[in-house]
Amino acid sequence: MNVGGSTIFGTADHESDVNKENETKLLLDSYVEKEKRAEAPRMGSMFRSEEMALCQLFIQPEAAYSAVASMGEAGVVQFRDLNSDVNAFQRKFVSEVRRCDELERKLRYIEAEVNKDKVPIPENTISPNAPNPREIIDLENQLERTESEILELSHNAVNLKSNYLELLELKHVLEKTHSFFEESFCLQQQDSTTPTSSGNDSITKALISEDSQQVIRGRLGFVAGVVSRERVPGFERMLWRISRGNVFLRRAELAEPLEDPATGNEIYKTVFVAFFQGEQLKSRVKKVCSGYHASFYNCPSSYVDRQDLLKGVKTRIEDLNLVLNQTHDHRQRVLTTVAKELHGWSVMVRKMKAIYHSLNLFNMDVTKKCLIGECWVPLSDVPFIRQTLADGGKAVGSSIPSFLNVIETNENPPTFNRTNKFTQGFQNLIDSYGVASYREVNPALYTIITFPFLFGIMFGDAGHGLILTLFGGFMVLREQQFTQKKINNEVWNIFFSGRYIILLMGIFSIYTGIIYNDVFSKSINIFGSSWSVILKNNTIKDISEATLDPAVNYNQLPYPMGLDPVWQRSSIETSPTCAPSVLITFINMMLYKKNTENVLPCQPYMFQYQDQLQTIFLIISLCCIPIMLAGKPIYIMISKRRMQKRRYSVNNGDLNQEIEMKENESVSIPSENMTLQYHPEEQQQDDEHEEMSEILIHQVIETIEYVLSTVSHTASYLRLWALSLAHAQLSEVLWNMVLKAGLMSESYSGSILLYFTFGTWSVFTIAILVMMEGLSAFLHTLRLHWVEFMSKFYIGTGYPFQPFSFKLILESEEALEE
């Protein structure tokens, strides 16, 4: 709800006049004198966002990299893009960014290889600094060497493995075909004695009996090989088709799977022997084999040859096994050494890339041979940046020092609230509604206590508050471990980032629970109740219920701390305090209705002059309305008229204006001091000429809103009562229906019943009363803050300060990866 922007009232967000410039310079000089050494940024006041300065950096190209690196470590500078019209590929440091990309690619490959072998990558907690140019070259060479080494190792491993596979398959073939040939040999023997025929054998026999008996195998060609099990049916069919049934296939499945060298998958294979006659069929069979990726081997026909070959193959397999193991060990060693450095390297490369991206935002001033950059810096950090630039220049050893120049501007600076781990949660709650305008009052400061307090009013049970406190305390005490662990669960992360809020909410809930005298819906009697009963005879047995009379049964001294425990037993359900009655009382109050009931000896008023006081307050509040309505527009009108008078009496000419302004200043009335603040801006920009009518309309709307909100917001706070009542009733119902049933048993078996009853009661307590009610109270408290508190003054149109910070960049990249 800005009326012509907040510029008109000269709040601290436009310090662009000459006086402020002088002040800033004095301030900076005093800073520089006091703190020569670079100091880490301090916690500023949380009441308003920090003062920001737009600075121009003039950096030597040699020193630029290290200067930006140290600024990234500090995380207090937000660079502006001075090259927004330049294509991303035409910027100055594009080649360096490409180098970083290349390094990242190598790192990704190495990481993939390390993960493939399941080598553990240790997490480093310390982030290494960005490497300087010399270290970059070292890093590049190192990565190059590592990458080529791993590539070579992989390649060799694949070769070795395929060799190994061939040998293994050959061994299997030799072993299995032995049985094939044995059979046919036996059959042949058999056949020579008795011409019996049965099943498969007849096929073999048929082939054999066509030719002469001894030299059968010589005429019968065969191909022995190995094919993967899933291809066998197709393979068989194809062989049958191309040979028109003249090929005979014998196969035996291999029990263990064999490892594929390229992918590492284990495949089940089958040994086969295909018998055929003639050379043509042989070539066809071989073609089919290659089509089905079946490997075939030269299997000698004679038994003795096969045995020799088998022995040779076995020894070769053993040798190859040795070599494979050694290669594997070597690879593991290389990968383990690399894995240790991997995290550090990737952090360094990411930092490098971020630095070069930032350097790309700078402008190269060709004549002066230096890089010019613009950035937003918090005013209190400007000396730190100056120191950083000086250090960077000295380290590189350049003759011309880099320097920083604070420039005046009318642009809206970003909003920067320096927070620590405690205040950050509360600041997030406020920023979710809207980021505060520059130098606006920051509600987060008060939210630290008002939020848990209002939550406590609505939650109000010491037992449940204790559960919350324990949960919050657990997270806070273990926060180091949890921040390092990086858990992926979204719900846990939400709870963990709000751990201080939860802890405070729990503590306040315990306090309000004590005041409400509610511990898991039971009251505790510490100080002795102020209510007592005086019974003179036994007539009490005839009356089922009796209401105690405060004049008689009350000892006139209130229970010292909280609600008297006697109220827990009270069965008063309908009372003057229930809902419709409260609202009606409230509305009557607004309408200024007098209580016409006059029940003696009760007075209609609480103290003597209450009537007159009420009238006075009402008149004061009514008088405020025209002030709200007309005050701001009238002020604007008067100040505008004064400004116009001033402008007509001054020439047009930028430089002269300031001098003449100063002259006028000495003569002017002190109240016009404020108007001078926006004079330079008036000449620099076009006049923000707002029609008076618009301002009036704005003001009318605001006044109506504000007056209405006095009633509506006050009524809205009734939710505090409503939610606390709901919570108390829920916990009482849970007690009465669940736990009380477990405690009523009179025998020992009741202990088992109590065991289960307590379990149920605890589950419901945590699920419904703590979690659900807690979330509900949290939400209502948030609404009370956002609407009933902040709508009265909060503008919230700022944009957040997004500094160039390595920590933030690394965190966001890690979040993206997961």
Q: Applying CB under 8 A, which residues contact another protein?
A: 42-43, 45-47, 420, 423, 445-446, 448-450, 453, 457, 511-512, 515-516, 528-538, 540-541, 543-550, 553-554, 556-564, 566-567, 569-572, 575
For the bound state, the minimum distance from the C-beta of residue 714 to another protein, rounded and expressed in Å, comes to 16
For the bound state, the minimum distance from the C-beta of residue 45 to another protein, rounded and expressed in Å, comes to 6
For the bound state, the minimum distance from the C-beta of residue 530 to another protein, rounded and expressed in Å, comes to 8
For the bound state, the minimum distance from the C-beta of residue 508 to another protein, rounded and expressed in Å, comes to 8
Question: For another protein, which is the closer residue by CB, 72 or 452?
Answer: 452
- Sequence length of the chain is 818
AA identity, residue 41: P
For the bound state, the minimum distance from the C-beta of residue 5 to another protein, rounded and expressed in Å, comes to 29
For the bound state, the minimum distance from the C-beta of residue 504 to another protein, rounded and expressed in Å, comes to 9
For the bound state, the minimum distance from the C-beta of residue 464 to another protein, rounded and expressed in Å, comes to 18
For the bound state, the minimum distance from the C-beta of residue 533 to another protein, rounded and expressed in Å, comes to 5
Using CA atoms, how far apart are residues 611 and 373, in angstroms rounded to an integer?
A: 68
For the bound state, the minimum distance from the C-beta of residue 628 to another protein, rounded and expressed in Å, comes to 28
Helix (H, G, I), strand (E, B) or coil at 408: coil
For the bound state, the minimum distance from the C-beta of residue 576 to another protein, rounded and expressed in Å, comes to 8
Count of other CB atoms within 10 angstroms of residue 262: 9
For residue 35, give Cα distances in angstroms to 76, 148, 389, 390, 648: 18, 50, 15, 14, 47
- Which secondary-structure segment (H or E) carries 376? strand 370-378
For the bound state, the minimum distance from the C-beta of residue 536 to another protein, rounded and expressed in Å, comes to 7
For the bound state, the minimum distance from the C-beta of residue 526 to another protein, rounded and expressed in Å, comes to 12
Q: Residue 238: name the closest of 201, 192, 280, 291 by CA.
A: 291
* Structure tokens belonging to residue 567: 């109220």
Q: Do β-strands 258-259 and 266-267 pair in parallel, antiparallel, or remain unpaired?
A: antiparallel
* Structure tokens belonging to residue 197: 């025929």
* Structure tokens belonging to residue 373: 């950059």
Give Cβ neighbours of residue 114 (< 8 Å, ≥ 6 apart): 121, 335, 338, 339, 342
Question: For another protein, which is the closer residue by CB, 547 or 608?
Answer: 547
**Residue carrying structure tokens 């060479």:** 141
Give Cβ neighbours of residue 466 (< 8 Å, ≥ 6 apart): 506, 510
AA identity, residue 181: F
Question: For another protein, which is the closer residue by CB, 131 or 456?
Answer: 456
Question: For another protein, which is the closer residue by CB, 394 or 792?
Answer: 792
Count of other CB atoms within 10 angstroms of residue 330: 14
Question: For another protein, which is the closer residue by CB, 118 or 541?
Answer: 541
Using CA atoms, how far apart are residues 461 and 516, in angstroms rounded to an integer?
A: 7
Contact 296, 225 (CB under 8 A): yes
For the bound state, the minimum distance from the C-beta of residue 557 to another protein, rounded and expressed in Å, comes to 4
Question: For another protein, which is the closer residue by CB, 26 or 43?
Answer: 43
Using CA atoms, how far apart are residues 395 and 402, in angstroms rounded to an integer?
A: 12
For the bound state, the minimum distance from the C-beta of residue 609 to another protein, rounded and expressed in Å, comes to 18
For the bound state, the minimum distance from the C-beta of residue 731 to another protein, rounded and expressed in Å, comes to 19
Question: For another protein, which is the closer residue by CB, 127 or 529?
Answer: 529
Question: For another protein, which is the closer residue by CB, 112 or 744?
Answer: 744
Q: How far apart are the first and last CA of the chain?
A: 41
AA identity, residue 295: S
DSSP code of residue 549: P
Question: For another protein, which is the closer residue by CB, 12 or 540?
Answer: 540
Question: For another protein, which is the closer residue by CB, 324 or 582?
Answer: 582
For residues 370, 372, 376, 380, the Cα torsion angle rounded to the nearest 10 degrees is 30
For the bound state, the minimum distance from the C-beta of residue 340 to another protein, rounded and expressed in Å, comes to 38
Question: For another protein, which is the closer residue by CB, 561 or 638?
Answer: 561
Question: For another protein, which is the closer residue by CB, 262 or 534?
Answer: 534
Using CA atoms, how far apart are residues 797 and 793, in angstroms rounded to an integer?
A: 12
For the bound state, the minimum distance from the C-beta of residue 41 to another protein, rounded and expressed in Å, comes to 10
Question: For another protein, which is the closer residue by CB, 399 or 556?
Answer: 556
* Structure tokens belonging to residue 434: 């809207």
Helix (H, G, I), strand (E, B) or coil at 639: helix
For residue 163, give Cα distances in angstroms to 177, 265, 295, 330: 21, 16, 13, 19
Question: For another protein, which is the closer residue by CB, 575 or 598?
Answer: 575
Buried b (16+ CB within 10 A) or exposed e, 225-244: bbbbeebbeebbebbeeebe
- Which secondary-structure segment (H or E) carries 365? strand 363-365
DSSP string for residues in 266-279: EE-EEEEEEEEESH
For residue 561, give Cα distances in angstroms to 170, 511, 516, 528, 694: 92, 10, 9, 11, 55
Beta bridge partners of 274: 223, 249
AA identity, residue 210: E
Question: For another protein, which is the closer residue by CB, 9 or 567?
Answer: 567
Question: For another protein, which is the closer residue by CB, 407 or 543?
Answer: 543
Can you point out the beta strands (E) in 383-501? Answer: 403-407
Question: For another protein, which is the closer residue by CB, 490 or 545?
Answer: 545
Q: Residue 146: name the closest of 197, 182, 92, 105 by CA.
A: 105
Using CA atoms, how far apart are residues 592 and 618, in angstroms rounded to an integer?
A: 9
* Structure tokens belonging to residue 296: 């075939």
AA identity, residue 468: L
Q: Residue 275: name the closest of 368, 363, 200 by CA.
A: 200
Contact 274, 247 (CB under 8 A): yes
Phi/psi of residue 23, nearest 5 degrees? -55, -45
For the bound state, the minimum distance from the C-beta of residue 434 to another protein, rounded and expressed in Å, comes to 22
Question: For another protein, which is the closer residue by CB, 535 or 655?
Answer: 535
